[in-house]
Amino acid sequence: MKGKFITFEGTEGSGKTSVIKEVKKHYELQGYAVMVTREPGGISISEKIRDILLNKENTEMDPRTEALLFAAARRQHLVEKIKPALDKGMIVLCDRFVDSSLVYQGYARNIGIDKVYDINYFAIEDALPDLTIFVDVRPEVGLKRVFQTPNREVNRLDLENMDFHKLIYRGYLELAKKYDRIKKVNGEQKIEEVAKEAINLIDKIL
């Protein structure tokens, strides 16, 4: 039996990571084998690329370089960690995947969603998620959380201006219209409520 690949997307500070923890706990109690991972990262090579991408000093990074680095990290992560887990029949919960690149580099950096999709198609081939949960939080709310959460890593993308973060949000709304696999949950509720909405969507594909 092939597993299920579920990704979580959202603006900075949307609470994806906390929602994923709740969802993992729920399905493990149901007896499922669940693996949680993240992008960029998840494995040694991709974590090293993450350090380059999110380093606050790398302000001169070209948007296409950024897109290519994300795709490279994604390819390695996919073949080394995600695919083997799916082949074992596990539920894979991934904090960000290809849609982040489509929105951040394609839409907000203005490279074009189709161009960034082409770069990523080379990286992932046809390995798209079975379900993508967009944790819908307005950028003003998300960024307030980022800067008010103690010990949270503040990275290069967090420090972009508000116009950039508004573009990210708009990009996600556009993608949600474009792809049926992307479903929205209201991320401005209590974490338990957000997790409950996500679990209801996941139940439909299990």
* Cα radius of gyration rounded to whole Å, the chain: 16
Give me the tens of pLDDT residue by residue for the chain, a chain 206 residues long: 599 999 999 998 899 999 999 999 999 999 999 999 999 999 999 999 999 998 989 989 999 999 999 999 999 999 999 999 999 999 999 999 999 999 999 999 999 999 999 999 999 999 999 999 999 999 999 888 877 777 767 777 767 788 999 999 999 999 999 999 999 999 999 999 999 999 999 999 99
| Structural domains in the chain plus CATH codes | 4-205 (3.40.50.300)
Q: How many Cα atoms occupy the beta-carbon half-sphere of 165 within 13 Å? A: 21
CB 63 within 8 A of CB 109: yes
